[in-house]
Each structure stands twice: as C-alpha cells, then as structure tokens.
Structure 1
C-alpha cells in the first residue's frame, strides 16, 4: 500500500558514513531518533546536532530527552554525516514551498502528559499544527508497559468542517527492551478495514483511514514516531462512540 500524502523512511547510518537525499518537491522533517550528526541543506549547515543515543534515554533528572530535528523546504539537496551511529527518520509530505529550512531545537519541542489510569502517554510535539509547515505533522509518543495510547480509539479520515480533518498517518515503532512487541489495531466503523497486529521493534504501521489504538505488553515500553499529512493541515479527530467514556471522570 502506498499513501497519497505521507512519505516515511528510516536510515541507519554508521558513524563516519553519510547519506545524501536529492532534491524533491516534498517538504521534509528529519528527526534524529538516536545519534548525532551534521546536516547540510543547500548552503546551510547544522553542525553537531543530536543528543540521545536511544529514544528511550533520560537525563540525570529522569526526564525524557527531546529530539533534534530539521525542517527542510522542497527542492533542497540534503547531506547527513553521522558523527555517531545514527538512526534518522525522514518524514515527507506535499508542499507549496513557501517556508524556509530551519533547525528545530529540543527547546522548541513542547512536551505534554496525556491520559490517566492505564491510558497514559508522554508526547513530544516536534511539528504540531501551530508550528510552520505546509502539510507535515510530526510527534513522538512514549507509552509505558501495560498502558494504551492513541486511545480511546479516534479517527481522522474525512473532512467535517470544524470537527474532523482527513489525515493519513504512519507509526514508526521502537520497543524497550528491543525484543518486545506491542499490539496495534487499525479498523473502520463498518469493519471493511479491521487489522490487529503484533508490532515489533522498528516496524512501520500505515493508517490510511480508521481508528488506530496501540496497547503495550507487560515488561516492554513503547516509543513511536507519528507522521500525519493531508489536504488540510489541522489535527481534528472523532472519538469512537463506544469507548469515548474513557475520557470521562468515570474512568480512574
């Protein structure tokens, strides 16, 4: 299956090696999932960026370390030189080319806790809809063992003015420890699409439409990098009616 708006790839680059991405019509968000690098875009050089050696790494205060990222305007040639072993995610979407290439520092990435009880996660908003981009929305989500996320089930697969926007989505999964797995279901109200899968470390799940909850397994923490894009750059979604009560005070 190929999506119409979202493009996504991950590159594992050994220390001292380089990657060249030729110019294209898409805007890109380069996310350093782990490792350090120097990124050159046209005549701009972003030197020695990156900090964490794993997406699960925490600082001395036990706070999750935020990512370093680069937003790249279309028609720009990119060179990435790995200064350590590097895990680089390349997120792409259609663009009108009205914006400038820029470095997204960790300080610019908002962090937030969502949910309660066994439905909790921690979020890094790398490229949310209140930050400049033409199509891309990019976010990291951390879910501890035994919890659900992207839940209660919600969808964003049609345009309903003021209520829901059409956004395709991909999930790039990492597990800690890496031999673990989590579960993800992708399904529609009419069950025309209804897939439930065991997702392993470094798997990618595509969500062309429908609901898409994630559940972790005891002993294994989850990280995923979400990429969304569609004809309108606004994250508006609808809850699945049966499970919306999880948001209420009745759920502890």
Structure 2
C-alpha cells in the first residue's frame, strides 16, 4: 500500500499508479506553446482535461471541442472535457496552454461531455476563516466511471478541506478513493500553504509546506490544507476509486467536527467569491 506523500514542482512530470503505488489515478500537466499538439492514444482509461491557462482544441472520433481561455486559475472557473475509455485524442494549443490531464481505468464507456462555467454552481463552503470556493467539474452524478474532478480556491489565511476528512471505506457509506491535490498560488514565487495528512491508527503524520506546482498523493488518512496569510491558494482535486462506486462520502475527524458550529454565526468570508464565472479572453 502506498503512503501519503508530497512531490515538489520540477521533481515530477506524471503521476502514474506504478509511481504512486496505487491502482486508479493518473495525473499530469501538459505545457504546450501556441499551435503545438499532443496526441494521446486510445486505451482503457477515461480522461478529463482541465485547462489551467490558455485555450485548447481537442479532436476525437470525428468531433471537435474548443475550451478554456482563462489567463490563470485565478481568473475564471474551469472548463473540463471528459472523454471515455478507448478514445484517441489530439490536443492542440490555440494559445500558450497549460492543461491538466487526469485519467483512471474504466469499466464502462460513456459519452464525451464538455463542462463549461455555465454548468458549474459557484459553491461557497465553510464559514469564517474556513471559507473557500468550490467549482465541481465532475461530481458523483456525472456520467463517468470512476473520475471525480473538483477545483477549490482558498483565500489567504483560510483553511480548506476542513474539518479534516478521509475516504477509506472504514465504515458503511464512506468512499474508498485515491486522491491528488495539485496546487497553484496566486503569487507563484513567494506563495505557500500547509498540507496536513494524518492517521492516528497508523501513527502517521505528514505536515509540510506546499508551493506552486507541488502535488500531494493521498491514498488514505485525514487531510486538510491552510493557505498562508496573504497567499491565495488554488488546488485541483482528482479522485477515483473502485467502480461502480461513485460517491465522495467522507468521514470527518470526529474530534474536530464541532468547528462547524461556529460557521453560521461567522458567515462566509467577504472575499468570496473571488473567482469570476467568465474569464477574460484575448
């Protein structure tokens, strides 16, 4: 079984099940100059494509989609192109492009779907300094086999994924999910956050700073994140587990669940929402 770990920007290029020591989640970020293309062969995995910056064009099985366009992850909600298993695709950068690619082995073949900002509810979760903004691109109700894709923005000084929770299927209804957190900071040179993953029953503790381009692999354990004061944080959350299970049901750390009691009185952080629905497009 794999262990939760943080991989630093520049020290990883692709997360594979073999590298992570798990079964389902593959993740990478492609950086393509305008006009260039990348071909991905058909295989047994379903894929999700999320432009982090720039605009992409995808061609697959006689269909074509143009999507993305935000200048950065802090300038608009995401687009997400879902393609089913056994689908070859060519991704072309219409502008300079950073695009996240998530994949997981699939047992069923679904239809392609393009999710746009029009399809996303802007959800403000938590309260007080545990307030954050969530954009759910692929939730359990999405017509896919295993992949879940979620964007989260956390204002500087705030906690996210709080109270700490986990997905291990230790009790009925709790999901069994592998999970990645891919981080971007509004100030990429100086920005940072803290990531904690812990498991009392295993005697495990991981508490480390994370910076722009880092990624955390979470096969098990309670986890939570806090953005440093003055440093707004984004993370792209990829989850996948055994099919046909499609649930994000989590188990919270019961010792910290009482934090919710103060949220109604505290209200949502007045800085939220700070991500516009529509990005500026050149």
TM-score under structure 2 normalisation? 0.83
Residue in structure 2 matching 1:27, options 46, 67, 73: 46
Question: RMSD in angstroms over aligned alpha carbons?
Answer: 1.4
- d(CA) in 2 for partners of 1:139 and 1:92? 14
| Kept after mapping to 2: 8 A contact 1:26/1:94 | yes
Aligned length: 243
Contact 2:179 2:238 in 1 (8 A): yes
SS of 1:242's equivalent in the other structure is coil
Structure having the larger proportion of residues in helix: 2
Partner of 1:211: 222
Cα distance in 1 for partners of 2:135, 2:81 equals: 15
Aligned equivalent of 1:53 = 71
* Aligned position for 2:131: 120
SS in 2 for 1:152: strand
- After TM superposition, give the deviation of residue 200 of structure 1 in Å: 0.9
**SS at 2:259 equivalent:** helix
Q: Secondary structure at the match of 1:107?
A: helix
Contact 1:23–1:78, Cα closer than 8 Å, also in 2: yes
Per-residue deviation at 1:183? 0.6
Partner of 1:61: none
Residue of structure 2 in register with 1:60 after alignment: none
Quick check: 1:110–1:126 contact (8 Å CA) kept in 2?
A: no
Indicate conservation of the 8 Å contact 2:141/2:246, yes or no: no
Note if contact 1:27-1:97 (Cα within 8 Å) is conserved in structure 2: no
Bigger RCO (CA 8 Å, 6+ sep): 2
CA offset digits 1:212-235 (Å, max 9, x no partner):
100111121000000011112101
Asked if the contact 2:183/2:212 (under 8 Å) is kept, the reply is yes
1:243 aligns with 2:243: no
Rounded Cα–Cα distance in structure 2 between residues aligned with 1:151 and 1:225: 16
Q: Does 1:165 align with 2:175?
A: yes
Gaps of 5+ in 1: 58-64
Find the aligned partners of 2:94 and 2:214 in 1 and give their Cα distance.
Answer: 25
Instruction: Name the SS of the counterpart of 2:131 in structure 1.
Output: strand
What's 1:6 paired with? 25
Cross-structure match for 2:88:
77
Q: Which residue of 2 aligns with 1:132?
A: 143
Contact 1:32 1:87 in 2 (8 A): yes
- Unaligned runs of at least 5 residues, structure 2: 1-19, 267-282
Moved more, 140-149 or 212-221: 212-221
Out of 140, 161, 182, which is 1:150 matched to?
161
Deviations 1:161-208 (A, max 9, x none): 23x111110001000111211110111122433111111101111001
Question: Does 1:233 find its partner at 2:233?
Answer: no
Give secondary structure in 1 for the equivalent of 2:234.
strand
The answer to whether the 8 A contact 1:118-1:148 is kept is yes
Normalised TM-score (structure 1): 0.92
CA distance in 1, matches of 2:130, 2:202: 24
